[in-house]
Amino acid sequence: MRMIRRAIAALAAAATMAAGLRLAGGEPVERQSGGWRPLDGPDLT
């Protein structure tokens, strides 16, 4: 019984820590722009 309680406590602590990290977050990833275009003309010479 004590082992189960410890496992639950450990899981709860891990979940709390993960939630904290996710909410606090880090530096946001810089937005990148661009797109795909067919490779032709001078790109294929």
Partner 1 sequence: MRVARHLLSGTASGFPGAEVHLVVRDIDPERLTGALGVLEAAASEGRVEVEHAPFPEQLDADVVVVATPRGTQLAAVESALAAGSTVVLSGDGLAETVAVTRLADRAGEQGVSVVLGAGFAPGLSGVLAAHARSWFDEVDEIHIAKAGAGGPACALVHHRALSRLSYDWSEGGWRRRPGGSGRELCWFPEPVGPMDCYRAALPDPVLLHHAFPEVGRITARMAATRRDRLTAPLPMLSPPPVEGGIGAIRVEVRGRRGVSQDVCVLGVAERPAVAAAAVAATTVEWALAGRLRVRGMASLAEMVEPTAFLADVADRGVVPEIFEGEHAVV
Binding site for partner 1 (CB under 8 A): 32-40, 43-45
Q: Which is nearer to partner 1, 1 or 45 (CB)?
A: 45
Query: CB of residue 30 vs partner 1: minimum separation in angstroms?
Result: 9
What is the C-alpha separation between 7 and 12, in angstroms, rounded? 9
Instruction: Work out the angle at residue 12's Cα, subtended by the Cα atoms of residues 9 and 18, and round it to the nearest 5 degrees.
Output: 140
Residue 5 vs 37, nearer CB to partner 1: 37
> What's the closest the beta carbon of residue 5 comes to partner 1, in angstroms?
29
CA 23 – CA 19 distance, rounded (Å): 6
